[in-house]
Amino acid sequence: MDGPGDPLYRKYLRLTHEALERVRAAPPRRSFLAGASDDFLSMARAYLADAEHFAAGGDLDRALAAASYAHGWLDAGVRLGLLDGGDDDQRFTLFR
């Protein structure tokens, strides 16, 4: 995770990596919502990979945007109940 960038980019990259490690799919595997949960995780991983790619190329504005989008997918998934983030209200916006 050590890479180029300003402190804000590094902070969001770290938070998003930590969030991705903590979340789990919430719906049962055979439910209709399992596919949506998988989609949210895939989008988060893709945007996180994009963030690292942009940072490696020195494009820190796009890197920060992609890292923020990645975290947004995780946060939205937890908020909707598609992903389980536990009681971690430091990395996720919990409903209650």
pLDDT digits (tens, 9 = 90+) for 1-59: 445 558 888 888 999 999 999 999 999 999 999 999 999 999 999 999 999 999 999 99
Residue 93 lies in a domain: no
Q: Read off the tokens for 80.
A: 């909707």
Give pLDDT tens digits for 47-64: 999 999 999 999 999 999
The predicted pLDDT at position 3 comes to 52
Give how many domains the chain has, as a whole number. 1
Distance CA 85, CA 63 (A): 24
Using pLDDT thresholds of 50, 70 and 90, give the confidence band for residue 92.
confident
Give the predicted TM-score (pTM) of the model.
Answer: 0.86
What Cα–Cα distance (Å) separates residue 66 from each residue in 10, 17, 48? 12, 13, 6
Structural domain boundaries, residue 25 = 7-84
Distance CA 63, CA 60 (A): 5
More confident residue, 18 or 90: 18
Q: CATH number for the domain including 70?
A: 1.20.1270.90
Residue 49 lies in a domain: yes
What Cα–Cα distance (Å) separates residue 57 from each residue in 47, 71, 84? 15, 21, 33
Residue 96 lies in a domain: no
Residue 95 lies in a domain: no
